[in-house]
Amino acid sequence: MDDRRLETIIGRLLQTGVLLAAAVVAAGGALYLVQHYADHVNYRHFAAGGPAVQTLSGIIQSAAHLNSEGLMQIGLVLLILTPVARVMMAVVGFLLEKDRLYTVVSLIVLLILTFSLIHAT
């Protein structure tokens, strides 16, 4: 396995992940539009949306109840996970290449990402 092949696999994986995430967001979005198209909205002042869109468990629960906002949000979470998957793939790829330096480099990046995502749990 060389770098080019590794990158090609990672690129494909990312594209698939993004399309999947976009499909979920679009499905949730369609449901949201059907249910709320005539509602009036105003985003002038920021107010956090609550656990149903802010925490992973809340989002999963809300999506499981086919709530349109929950569905859109879980699609967005999937999207956020695509770069994380990319870094994981790179760790595995560099391991297979027996490239110790870059295995460590990608592990560090993975660690930093995990630290951040833990905040949303």
Question: What is the contact surface with other proteins in residues (CB under 8 A)?
Answer: 3-4, 6-8, 10-12, 14-15, 17-19, 21-22, 25-26, 28-29, 32-33, 36-50, 53-55, 69, 72-73, 76-77, 79-84, 86-87, 90, 101-102, 105-106, 108-109, 112-113, 115-120
**Residues contacting residue 29 through CB under 8 Å, at least 6 positions apart:** 68, 72
CB of 67 to other proteins, least distance (A): 10
| 62: Cα separation from own chain's centroid | 17
Residue 65 vs 83, nearer CB to other proteins: 83
CB of 77 to other proteins, least distance (A): 7
CA-based nearest residue to 11, from 85, 78, 68: 85
CB of 107 to other proteins, least distance (A): 10
Task: State whether the Cα torsion 52-55-61-66 is positive or negative.
Answer: positive
Rounded Cα–Cα distance for residues 110 and 121 (Å): 17
